[in-house]
């Protein structure tokens, strides 16, 4: 079991072959693979080690406990909410278990446009197979498709749209539906119940409530990580110092560039913190006559890919996916005040949400903010991306109407749009999508330490190693060269698996022991 550095008190001085920063979708994989191969591994995780015993299925308790900035992290102008986990297991503890390999057309684009011929289908195949086996990826069965997903499939099929029931990483799922708040049944195969215990069983020393704040370079090599024990509010207490031959940075696409910029390293390209893609998503809410109880059952199982054709154009498109709604999150996104808001919430248990999620070309940035817990995230939508999102909203409304919704709400903050079947949907494109005027969320921030063959335009090479600092690797979603255009957890894990194997292959060249 991990040691909680804040609860233990005092300072930490450690020495290891490898220091892994972050225990989420990428970090846990790297830690487990490296420890299993016999290296001494220290993992630093800023969040607490919560387990299924602590997951109460209550939003007001879980959001502050498990999410960055209590689930209220947002871009500097407040235009996009950015949801990220802050706990052992990272965002995989909250994710919704869609499990997709990297689309082949995206890998092809990364090879040809980003100088990464090493990312061949054959080279990735072993990593995909290993992580899928560890995460127990399998198809969602017909009886596991819940009512909102069935309705969305019905609407999509009535319109002749392409869609399918996806793979997921759950085992013995009781279909409780609380995935976003942490699975109380250990059915979700997040890092918390897969790679983290594997890493610990192989001898990795995991420190929770341990925030890395600076990576030091000596003799041109990454060699030391400095930071503090932190409490739940992110306040610094005892100090920590880990000397290591190799540092694997896997703090996620917001914290990883923040840490590199604060350390003043690995940025000869000027690209650290740039190229932020968010997969921004926007919701339409269909109100049905019958009780649906949208929070029951596996939240996302159907996936509409009618409006993305990566083989034809790997740079654009959007997908439609159902979204689960708990009372607090739903009411926060529901427009209106007082009586109007109350009336809308009365239809809560008859409401089905459908998201348009964009494969974005828009590129934002991350830079250090006033506090270590609050980096500055900037993001603006390019006109073509805003157009695509508006078009996506139109299709969400069509699908919900075709599924039988008697009205669909588009939650513009000032003047929500309520559309009955037969209404003119062109009003959506007339209003468009402007950040700040309608709720927009991101659960997939990525690409802020992007991978590429050219050190002048990228931060890490095809194996996640910094172009500038030997022995410094990045193994999280920040390495994606572009927006992925698909759910990212398997790509993140597979690239981290590959990075770990590369470290093992090159171990003898990676500098003197710490």
Going by C-alpha positions, the residue among 223, 227, 220 that lies closest to residue 262 is 227
d(CA 367, CA 21): 18
Q: Which of 176, 202, 387, 504 binds ligand SF4 (CB under 6 A)?
A: 176
Q: Which of 50, 55, 98, 302 binds ligand FAD (CB under 6 A)?
A: 98
Q: Are 41 and 203 spatial neighbours (Cβ–Cβ below 8 Å)?
A: yes
- In whole angstroms, the minimum distance from the beta carbon of 322 to ligand FAD comes to 11
Phi first, then psi, for residue 511 (nearest 5°) are: 90, 175
Confirm or reject binding of residue 115 to ligand FAD (CB under 6 A). no
Confirm or reject binding of residue 97 to ligand FAD (CB under 6 A). yes
Number of residues that bind ligand FAD (CB under 6 A): 41
Q: Are 231 and 238 spatial neighbours (Cβ–Cβ below 8 Å)?
A: no
- The residues in 467-496 that bind ligand FAD, with binding defined as CB under 6 A, are 476-477, 487-489, 492
Confirm or reject binding of residue 373 to ligand SF4 (CB under 6 A). no
- Which DSSP string do the residues of 177-196 spell out, in sequence order? --GGG--TTS-B--GGGTHH
Residue whose CB is nearest to ligand FAD in the complex, by number: 24
Q: Which of 177, 322, 411, 464 binds ligand SF4 (CB under 6 A)?
A: 177
If the CB atoms of residues 188 and 205 are measured against ligand SF4, the closer one turns out to be 188
- The residues in 288-307 that bind ligand SF4, with binding defined as CB under 6 A, are 298
d(CA 85, CA 93): 7
Residue 412 interacting partner from ligand FAD, ligand SF4, none (CB closer than 5 to 8 Å by kind): none
Residue 12 interacting partner from ligand SF4, ligand FAD, none (CB closer than 5 to 8 Å by kind): none
String of contacts with ligand SF4 for each residue 57-96, x by CB under 6 A:
----------------------------------------
3-state DSSP call for residue 128? helix
Number of residues that bind ligand SF4 (CB under 6 A): 13
CA 403 to chain centre: 29
If the CB atoms of residues 134 and 461 are measured against ligand SF4, the closer one turns out to be 134
Stretch that binds ligand FAD, among 112-120, 250-258, 362-370, 399-407 (CB under 6 A): 250-258
- In whole angstroms, the minimum distance from the beta carbon of 196 to ligand SF4 comes to 17
| Cβ-based neighbour number of residue 74 at 10 Å | 17
- In whole angstroms, the minimum distance from the beta carbon of 448 to ligand FAD comes to 10
Going by C-alpha positions, the residue among 332, 274, 364, 329 that lies closest to residue 77 is 364
Quote the tokens at residue 231: 């409490």
Q: Are 179 and 94 spatial neighbours (Cβ–Cβ below 8 Å)?
A: yes
CA 166 to chain centre: 18
| Cβ-based neighbour number of residue 296 at 10 Å | 16
- In whole angstroms, the minimum distance from the beta carbon of 85 to ligand FAD comes to 5
Stretch that binds ligand SF4, among 123-131, 172-180, 308-316, 405-413 (CB under 6 A): 172-180
- In whole angstroms, the minimum distance from the beta carbon of 26 to ligand FAD comes to 4
Residue 286 interacting partner from ligand FAD, ligand SF4, none (CB closer than 5 to 8 Å by kind): none
For 422-436, letters b (16+ CB in 10 Å) and e give: eeebeebeebebebe
| Cβ-based neighbour number of residue 359 at 10 Å | 25
N- to C-terminal Cα separation, the chain: 25
**Around 247, how many Cα atoms within 13 Å sit in the side-chain half-sphere?**
28
Residue 83 interacting partner from ligand SF4, ligand FAD, none (CB closer than 5 to 8 Å by kind): ligand FAD
If the CB atoms of residues 5 and 292 are measured against ligand FAD, the closer one turns out to be 5
| Cβ-based neighbour number of residue 449 at 10 Å | 30
Alpha helix stretches (DSSP H) within 135-244: 147-158, 195-201
Q: Which of 18, 19, 22, 234 binds ligand FAD (CB under 6 A)?
A: 22
- In whole angstroms, the minimum distance from the beta carbon of 133 to ligand SF4 comes to 18
d(CA 323, CA 365): 27
CA distances from 47 to 32, 66, 398 (A): 18, 8, 41
Stretch that binds ligand SF4, among 184-192, 221-229, 368-376, 408-416 (CB under 6 A): 184-192
Residue 464 interacting partner from ligand SF4, ligand FAD, none (CB closer than 5 to 8 Å by kind): none
Confirm or reject binding of residue 25 to ligand FAD (CB under 6 A). yes
Which residues bind to ligand SF4, rule: CB under 6 A?
170, 173-179, 183, 185, 187-188, 298
Q: Which residues of the shown chain bind ligand FAD in the complex (CB under 6 A)?
A: 21-27, 44-47, 83-87, 90-92, 94-98, 180, 211-212, 250-253, 255, 259, 443-444, 476-477, 487-489, 492
């Amino acid at each position: 079991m991990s040691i909680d550095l804040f609860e233990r008190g005092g300072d930490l001085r450690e020495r290891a072959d490898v220091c892994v920063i972050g225990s989420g979708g990428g970090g846990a994989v790297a830690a487990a693979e490296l420890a299993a191969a016999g290296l001494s591994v220290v993992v630093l995780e800023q969040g607490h080690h919560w387990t299924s015993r602590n997951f109460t299925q209550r939003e007001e308790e879980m959001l502050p406990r498990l999410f960055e900035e209590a689930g209220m992290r947002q871009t500097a102008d407040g235009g996009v909410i950015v949801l990220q986990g802050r706990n052992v297991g990272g965002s995989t503890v909250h994710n919704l278990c869609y499990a997709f390999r990297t689309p082949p057309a995206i890998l092809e684009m990364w090879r040809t446009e980003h100088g990464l011929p090493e990312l061949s289908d054959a080279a990735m195949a072993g990593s995909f197979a290993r992580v899928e086996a560890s995460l127990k990826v399998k198809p969602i069965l017909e009886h596991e498709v819940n009512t909102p997903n069935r309705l969305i499939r019905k609407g999509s099929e009535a319109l002749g749209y392409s869609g399918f029931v996806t793979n997921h990483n759950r085992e013995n799922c009781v279909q409780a539906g609380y995935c976003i708040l942490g699975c109380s049944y250990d059915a979700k195969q997040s890092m918390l119940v897969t790679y983290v215990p594997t890493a610990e069983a192989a001898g990795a020393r995991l420190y929770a409530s341990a925030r890395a704040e600076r990576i030091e370079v000596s003799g041109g090599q990454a060699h030391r990580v400095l930071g503090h024990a932190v409490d739940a509010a992110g306040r610094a207490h005892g100090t920590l110092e880990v000397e290591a031959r190799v540092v694997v940075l896997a703090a996620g696409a917001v914290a990883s560039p923040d840490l590199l910029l604060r350390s003043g390293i690995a940025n000869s390209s000027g690209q650290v913190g740039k190229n932020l893609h968010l997969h921004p998503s926007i919701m339409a809410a269909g109100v049905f006559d019958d009780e649906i109880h949208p929070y029951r059952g596996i939240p996302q199982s159907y996936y509409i890919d009618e409006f993305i054709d990566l083989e034809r154009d790997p740079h654009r498109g959007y997908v439609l996916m159902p979204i689960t709604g708990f009372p607090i999150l739903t009411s926060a996104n529901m427009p209106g005040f007082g009586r109007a808001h109350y009336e809308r919430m009365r239809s809560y248990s008859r409401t089905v949400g459908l998201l348009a999620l964009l494969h974005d070309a828009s590129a934002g940035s991350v830079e250090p903010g006033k506090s270590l817990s609050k980096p500055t995230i900037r993001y603006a939508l390019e006109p073509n991306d805003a157009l695509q999102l508006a078009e996506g909203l139109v299709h969400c409304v069509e699908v919900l109407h075709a599924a039988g919704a008697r009205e669909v709400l588009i939650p513009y903050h000032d003047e929500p749009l309520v559309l009955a079947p037969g209404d003119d949907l062109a009003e959506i494109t007339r209003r468009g999508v402007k950040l700040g005027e309608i709720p927009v969320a991101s659960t997939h921030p990525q690409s802020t330490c992007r991978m590429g063959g050219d050190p002048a335009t990228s931060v890490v090479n095809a194996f996640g190693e910094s172009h500038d600092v030997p022995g410094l690797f990045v193994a999280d979603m920040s390495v994606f060269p572009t927006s992925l255009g698909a759910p990212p957890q398997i790509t993140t894990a597979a690239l981290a698996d590959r990075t770990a194997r590369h470290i093992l292959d090159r171990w003898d060249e990676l500098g003197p022991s710490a």
